[in-house]
A = this chain, B = another copy of it.
Amino acid sequence: MGRPVVVLSGGMDSATVLAYTVALYGEADAITANYGQRHVREIESAMKQAERYGCRHDLVDLTSVGALLSGSALTDEVEVPFGHYAEETMKATVVPNRNAILANVAAGVAVAREAPAIILGVHSGDHAIYPDCRPEFVEALAGVLKVANYHPVRVEAPFLHTDKAGILRVGHALGVDYSATWTCYVGGDKACGKCGACQERLEAFGLIGKTDPLAYE
């Protein structure tokens, strides 16, 4: 029986999911995809998190896929929207079918290793903007991974019904190192503090009364 496979982006949500999975099950593998996103800093953060928990960590190169999924500010020349997560601006950051692709790659790895589950960091704060973070998506995906292979794979999304503040409360209890997570959509040397992703992150730290250890411009 293999270890549960965490889809690790290097952001604060998936870093917390990794820590939580290791706490829950004692061990985890991690997988990170490069689909040509602007913030390669996320991938470096993912490597630090996986190393910290002693996880097997695999990087997969999906840049040729990402190149076809045009229309998102995360992979394209489209301008990154600034300001708070408002529907119209943040829709520009939706990568077509991203979570279905990443989850299914992770599931393939889970099948190959006879691992019981894949673990996703989706949460309710993303439900408004990202269809592939919603409960009905997770449920439908679980239906596929019950029947797509001889070895069925469970889909777990422990933070599906909480938000970034809830994730941060769990993460602080588990001692997650948030200085080694990357959220900013711009990808400079320091986080910009202005894009929707930075604002949402800072707001969550504010809600739980903690200071974000990450360096901001």
Q: In this assembly, does A134 line the interface, its C-beta being within 8 Å of a C-beta of chain B?
A: yes
Could you say which interface size class chain A belongs to? 35 or more
Copies of this protein chain in the complex: 2
Q: Which one of A90-98, A171-179, A185-193 is at the B interface?
A: A90-98
Partner of A65, one of B70, B96, B108, B143: B108
Residues of B within 8 A of A62 (CB): 62, 65
Contact of A61 with B64 in the complex, beta carbons under 8 Å: yes
A108 cross-chain contacts in B, Cβ below 8 A: 65, 68-69, 95-98, 100-101
Q: How far is the CA of A59 from the CA of B145 in the complex (A)?
A: 25
9 interchain pairs (CB within 8 A)?
A59-B64, A71-B112, A94-B149, A96-B149, A96-B151, A97-B108, A137-B147, A140-B146, A141-B144
